[in-house]
């Protein structure tokens, strides 16, 4: 009984050893075969890889231009807010938005690209000390935008009109 077990172990060892050697040869042959097969089929793989990279670059470019367009809008809105703050501080000392300040403010807004500027709701006549004053600026901004058609290939660059409104409130200190 003991002898059979030993032979079984030795038999497994030999079979495993033969399998290991056989796998080594097959692995070496497969490795060489894989190299040849890889070189033979490389044009198909490279074409798919290049096509994938080109599509990725195209989509990335579209996203980049969309981002730049939105940053332009935010930057313009921030400049409008700064201009409005400057003029509400002037209004505090005078008690209203004077005609000269209104024209100067319109000029500054036109320089940054604002169109159809309207001051409806703004305090235009002088008020007493401590009374609330309001500066309300309405208008439109033109910005470049990406317009996507029914599919990716109908993407085009165009300009879009965005409406803005900036409200400031303070008290008269005249």
Segment 114-129, tens digit of pLDDT: 999 999 999 999 999 9
pLDDT over 90 percentage in the chain: 46
Please give the full DSSP string across 28-74, using - where no structure is assigned.
HHHHHHHHHHHHHTHHHHHHHHHHHHHHHHHHHHHHHHHHHHHHHHH
Segment 5-52, tens digit of pLDDT: 555 445 555 555 555 555 555 555 555 555 555 445 555 667 788 888
Q: Give residue 16's pLDDT.
A: 52
This model's pTM is above 0.75: no
> What number of H helices and E strands is found in the chain?
3, 3
């Amino acid at each position: 009984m003991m002898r059979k077990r030993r032979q079984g172990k030795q038999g497994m060892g030999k079979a495993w050893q033969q399998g290991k050697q056989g796998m080594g040869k097959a692995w070496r042959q497969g490795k060489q075969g894989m190299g040849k097969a890889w070189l033979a089929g490389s044009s198909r793989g490279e074409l798919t890889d290049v096509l994938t990279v080109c599509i990725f670059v195209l989509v990335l470019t579209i996203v980049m231009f969309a981002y730049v367009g939105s940053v332009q809008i935010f930057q313009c809105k921030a400049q409008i807010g700064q201009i409005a703050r400057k003029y509400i501080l002037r209004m505090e000392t005078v008690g209203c938005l004077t005609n000269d300040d209104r024209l100067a403010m319109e000029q500054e807004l036109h320089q940054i690209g604002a169109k159809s500027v309207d001051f409806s709701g703004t305090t235009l006549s002088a008020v007493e000390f401590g009374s609330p004053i309001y500066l309300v600026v309405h208008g439109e901004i033109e910005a470049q935008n990406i317009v996507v058609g029914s599919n990716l290939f109908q993407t085009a660059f165009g300009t879009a009109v965005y409406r803005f409104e900036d409200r400031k409130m303070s008290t008269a200190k005249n």
